[in-house]
Structure 1
Amino acid sequence: MRFDLISIFPDYFAPLRLSLMGKAEDAGLVQLHAHDLRDWATGKHRSVDDTPYGGGAGMVMRADVWARALDDVLSVPLAARGAEDAPASPRRVVAIPTPSGTPLTQPRVEDLARADQIIVACGRYEGIDARVAEHYHGVGVEVVEFSIGDYVLNGGEVAAMVLTEAVARLLDGFMGNPDSLVEESHSGAGLLEYPVFTKPREFRSIEIPEVLLGGNHAAIERWRRDRAIEKTVRVRPDLALSLDASSLTPEDRATLAHCGVAYPQAGAAERLDVRLAGLEDVVAVSELAARTFPDACPENLPQEAIDDHIARQLNPDVFDALISDPERHRVFVAEVWGGLVGYVLTHVGPDALPSELVRPGRVEDGSAYLSKCYVDQAWRGSGIADVLLERAVADAAELGHTAVVLGTNRGNKAAQAFYKRHGFRKRSTRTFDVGGVRNDDVVMVRDLTA
């Protein structure tokens, strides 16, 4: 890879030859060439700029001077990477740093790392005559106008160094440990890097997270992934909302949802808000309950029984009474831009448990009863159910309950596996009436005292 950096201050680029970049140049992985633009200027003063047409403050760098420089550098013969013969059609890129350019991102850098030559034209003053980029683009040269941030510098040299280092470090053999490229910020995962630690084990009363000391590599990997997700949502929410959904595991989605970002089964991610329902939500919660309840019913349950249960148990009057009495009933809802997509209902207080569960040997006194946890079909697998369930459990614990009890249909193995992942264990069975039809439930309990 050959870098040609053209500037009126070529000495600016001397630090590039330090550290890994210098070693890479010595090893022949990169070629660094700094050029003085004034070498292509004419006249006594070797002027490279002039006043702008149309008036205005500042000076503009001349197109004719830049054209002579670029023509010469673009014609330099290139050696193929790892071979003596020159490539038949080398990829040459003219990169122009400018505050009005396209943001320099890791995907763009990864693409530029496949070039054979990158020429960086470092402007000064008010910039380079716009006809330079127009001309070279018009004659088939790959022109990249880029920005390293939404701010203005005195010239393009700093941006040129940023581009050079960002590209060069991706070249084969540049990094001593290539795994470093995989785990860092803006890697293929699209996440910011997780926090890293080294000795001493304790620094000013701050200790290393215990999970990093245990040797459980799967747990360490999960911890790091979760911290990367949390940091990305907090620091760069724009990145968190534009991840590659196909690369997200169920655990990733659950962590994202806990951080307030939900990815549906299809379509774009959305901001997620999980909150205690208010009376203004009564109708929406009732409608949500009516459309999600049938999906949890066994196949042999008649439609008439389902309809009867919805009409009697999930109507707006029922939810109005539930939401109006938060000391006995807790309804949390999950909301995205399009409306409510999930809810969880927990009965709390001294009389929270259904009568069939209070018999000796079933569940302990002081338990809360988780009655419903449903999510719209399009948002299942997004982690929203995980967030709703954990919010309900945490709420029950804050209210002084020692356990949370629930019942789920014996045939619904997916639901049982979901609750088991969240610490619920099978305790007993019960029968449950749906529209006059008997259903067999598994009773599961999560201990909150451990």
Structure 2
Amino acid sequence: MRLDYLTIFPDFFAPLELSLPGKAAASGLLEFGVHDLRQWTHDRHRTVDDTPYGGGAGMVMKPEPWGEALAQVVAPGSTVVFTTPSGERFDQRLAEELATREHVVFACGRYEGIDQRVIDHAREVAEVREISLGDYVLNGGEVAALAVTEAVVRLLPGFMGNAASLVEESHAEGGLLEYPVYTKPRTWDGREVPAVLLSGDHGAIARWRREQAVRRTAERRPDLLHPSTLDDGSPIVRATLGDAGELLTLQRACWVQEAIDNDMLAIPALHESLDDVRGWLGEWDTYVVRRAGRLVAAVRGRLEPADPTTWDIGRIMVAPDLQGAGLGRTLLEHIQAVAPEQATSYQLFTGAASARNQRLYKNAGFRLRSDLPAPAGTVVLSKRRR
């Protein structure tokens, strides 16, 4: 694989000679080329930028040096990567895609960016990808180019000494963040390595690592759970105060059926005001699902104030026209996955005559608890956390 970099700061790419990328280049697996864009200028000041047409702050990189540079560096079959805050967001899937290319040229912009005509021209002669590291702005594209390089080249066959490490790390196949890792000594600073890792039970270790990966992903990057939770890609996201009005509407629609099934109107969800919903949004970890801009499902959870080892689950709501499609089950799985580490059990309640709800919860491993107090007309179900 060959990687070329077009930049006005070639010294930025000295790190390419370090660590594994440097070793891969020395072994012939990789080939790097760093080019100073100013070598394609023709004035005494080696000018690469000018004021923008239409006015505005900042400067824009001129098309002439870029056009000559691309003509010399780009070859048939090349992929040109423009690192820009306005590009598609970089992730592991995109890294895997770029790792299949034989020649990638990084065009590192500066100032307000590169004249759009350069990008349009590049599309006529090569594959073009406009890539952003994230929703923030850097001084230039060099740092982003280095980050993309690190993510891409480590996927090349023969780059990593132990290819298995690529499978279990964060964002690898499955999309989860990596589980916590430990090494010797067994005890450090009064902290012990989890007993399961010392058990020798490989099945138990695999289950523990999977559970830890799901929990860490749910807590830190719930957006990464989307592909593994909702088949249509609809994200499960944290609710905001701005969702309160739609949550109020959704819960009233859902609890009308509860009132019918249980022949009772004394159900809190039917009588709450908008201010009530806003109030509990500040006390509960609440997640919602939207489809085509419409809030169609929600769930909430919190540590039980009287017993902080119990994760209290409530308000599992699915719009009436979407019930029976698995959304409720998915939300139930999600709210269990995001429970804090100190939670050792889950608890919820539902109507005593709500047969469909009880069937859902029992299928998920919950059991009726007649020994626990429940509001009038309801039953309590609980489940130990494995």
Structure 1 length normalisation: TM-score? Answer: 0.58
Rounded Cα–Cα distance in structure 1 between residues aligned with 2:90 and 2:383 = 50
Task: Provide the secondary structure at the position in 2 that maps to 1:20.
Answer: helix
| 1:153 and 2:138 are equivalent in the alignment | yes
The unaligned stretches of length 5 or more in structure 1 are: 76-89, 246-262, 274-279, 291-309, 325-333, 343-374, 397-405, 425-444
- Write out per-residue CA displacement over residues 16-51 of structure 1, whole angstroms, 9 at most, x where no aligned residue: 111111111122111111111122111222222222
- Write out per-residue CA displacement over residues 303-342 of structure 1, whole angstroms, 9 at most, x where no aligned residue: xxxxxxx6xxx3226x769x99xxxxxxxxx996536899
Task: Provide the secondary structure at the position in 2 that maps to 1:382.
Answer: helix
Q: Evaluate the alpha carbon distance shift between residue 288 and residue 206 of structure 1 in structure 2; reply closer, same or farther with a 3 A threshold.
A: same
Aligned AA (1:71): A
Residue 104 of structure 1 is matched in structure 2 by 90
Mapping of residues 337-416 of structure 1, within 5 Å: 337-338=295-296, 377-379=324-326, 382=330, 384=332
- Write out per-residue CA displacement over residues 24-82 of structure 1, whole angstroms, 9 at most, x where no aligned residue: 1122111111111122111222222222223333322211111111100114xxxxxxx
Rounded Cα–Cα distance in structure 2 between residues aligned with 1:14 and 1:385 = 47
CA RMSD of aligned residues (A): 4.0
Equivalent residue for 1:237, pick from 211, 219, 222? 222
Mapping of residues 416-435 of structure 1, within 5 Å: 418=363
Percent same amino acid at aligned positions? 45
Query: Alpha-carbon deviation of 1:223?
Result: 1.2
Q: Evaluate the alpha carbon distance shift between residue 213 and residue 117 of structure 1 in structure 2; reply closer, same or farther with a 3 A threshold.
A: same
Q: Evaluate the alpha carbon distance shift between residue 339 and residue 232 of structure 1 in structure 2; reply closer, same or farther with a 3 A threshold.
A: closer
Rounded Cα–Cα distance in structure 2 between residues aligned with 1:215 and 1:166 = 33
Task: Provide the secondary structure at the position in 1 that maps to 2:115.
Answer: coil
Mapping of residues 180-191 of structure 1, within 5 Å: 180-191=165-176
Residue 177 of structure 1 is matched in structure 2 by 162
Q: Is the 8 A contact 2:83 2:130 kept in 1?
A: yes
Q: Evaluate the alpha carbon distance shift between residue 225 and residue 121 of structure 1 in structure 2; reply closer, same or farther with a 3 A threshold.
A: same
Residue 124 of structure 1 is matched in structure 2 by 110
Q: Which has the larger radius of gyration?
A: 1
Q: Evaluate the alpha carbon distance shift between residue 320 and residue 40 of structure 1 in structure 2; reply closer, same or farther with a 3 A threshold.
A: closer
Q: Evaluate the alpha carbon distance shift between residue 57 and residue 266 of structure 1 in structure 2; reply closer, same or farther with a 3 A threshold.
A: closer
- Write out per-residue CA displacement over residues 356-378 of structure 1, whole angstroms, 9 at most, x where no aligned residue: xxxxxxxxxxxxxxxxxxx9643
Task: Provide the secondary structure at the position in 1 that maps to 2:87.
Answer: strand
Aligned AA (1:50): D
Q: Is the 8 A contact 1:284 1:340 kept in 2?
A: no
Query: Alpha-carbon deviation of 1:168?
Result: 0.6
Aligned AA (1:36): D
Query: Alpha-carbon deviation of 1:418?
Result: 4.8
- Write out per-residue CA displacement over residues 210-260 of structure 1, whole angstroms, 9 at most, x where no aligned residue: 2111111111111111111111121112222x2245xxxxxxxxxxxxxxx
Task: Provide the secondary structure at the position in 2 that maps to 1:21.
Answer: helix
Residue 141 of structure 1 is matched in structure 2 by 126
Rounded Cα–Cα distance in structure 1 between residues aligned with 2:117 and 2:200 = 60
Query: Alpha-carbon deviation of 1:415?
Result: 9.3
Task: Provide the secondary structure at the position in 1 that maps to 2:6.
Answer: strand
The runs of 4+ residues in structure 1 deviating greater than 3 Å are: 265-273, 280-286, 334-342, 380-383, 385-388, 393-396, 414-419, 421-424, 445-448
Q: Evaluate the alpha carbon distance shift between residue 218 and residue 417 of structure 1 in structure 2; reply closer, same or farther with a 3 A threshold.
A: farther
Rounded Cα–Cα distance in structure 2 between residues aligned with 1:59 and 1:386 = 47
Mapping of residues 163-174 of structure 1, within 5 Å: 163-174=148-159
Rounded Cα–Cα distance in structure 2 between residues aligned with 1:96 and 1:267 = 28
Q: Is the 8 A contact 2:238 2:287 kept in 1?
A: yes
The unaligned stretches of length 5 or more in structure 2 are: 240-249, 272-285, 289-294, 301-317, 369-380
Rounded Cα–Cα distance in structure 2 between residues aligned with 1:151 and 1:99 = 7
Query: Alpha-carbon deviation of 1:267?
Result: 7.1
